[in-house]
Structure 1
Amino acid sequence: MTCDPAGARRVEATWRALAQVQEVIRFADLKAGAVLAGSAALGGITATAAKGVRGPTGWLLAAGAGLLLAAALLALRTLAPRVAPRACSTRVYQVGRLPQRFVHDRSAFVDAWLALGGDDAALAAELAHQLWIAQLIATRKFTGIGWAIRALATAAPLLGAVLLLS
């Protein structure tokens, strides 16, 4: 077991960074839930109020409904759980996928995890790998929810115009 103060600080800093990125992921999921709720509410209002719309207003309705559907699907995709690529599944600490080498051997996993606890450098490397995966997930979620918000923000005035014109 190593007792390196610099290594311990590195492990602690990596834990803090990982917690911060996981908080960002939760924030993206919260935004996705809000977009999904907004899409459902706007879709419900439009469906009841815009029955029998024809002519040019029908095109606005179709465009708005398409954008609303796109916003909802993008929000759902953001909320859908995904795990790290299979190439990353050899790591000991990985949320969402038990490493293949430990699937049927719990005691080997426990031994590997405990061995990491005794080596600050190895633990910091393992956590840094998890941090990389979490940052990748956060980036993907924020990209998806950004497009969902844009689609919802474009659909709202189109559907508002349909409601005013019908």
Structure 2
Amino acid sequence: MKIKESDFEFFKKLKIKSAIDLALLLPKKIENLNPSKNPKENEICTQKITIKSVSSRKNQLFGLGFCEEWQENISFVFFHPRAWHFGICKVGKGLIFNAKLSRFNHTWQFNNPKILTSFEGFSPKYQILGLKDAKIAAFIHKYLNYENLQESGIGDKYIHFLLNLHA
């Protein structure tokens, strides 16, 4: 497997010595960041909310919004919000929230949601300290291919199996 010199240090951090090692580097979990079709209690949901009102009290930022997809009013709460949260949660703005959904006062509520920039599909989480998941996924996409696995001397059926793990 031919590795660019600039990428060599990253491979050392991952402790990868061959294309097979790279193919066997699997995520610890996969997050589903697709929009949720329906609200589901006590499950992690992702949906775009248009903010109708915002208030704060005692290290908490509360808000009420409307979800076009679900045709429901949605409340949200951030615990220990930063100035960034106050800056981004403005009335009339549409935000994509990803969090556990629960019922509170007969309203669906996102508890301490992550704010996403877009619906990102399925996101692998490798949970390797000091390395970003997106960079690991980019390296796998860049270096894991048929030719590199064939150089390792494994059979075609195993190559296709390993490639399908990352498809």
TM-score range, shorter chain: under 0.3
Larger Rg over CA atoms: 1
Greater strand share, structure number:
2
Greater helix share, structure number:
1
Structure 2 length normalisation: TM-score?
Answer: 0.27
Structure scoring higher RCO (CA < 8 A, sep ≥ 6) equals: 1
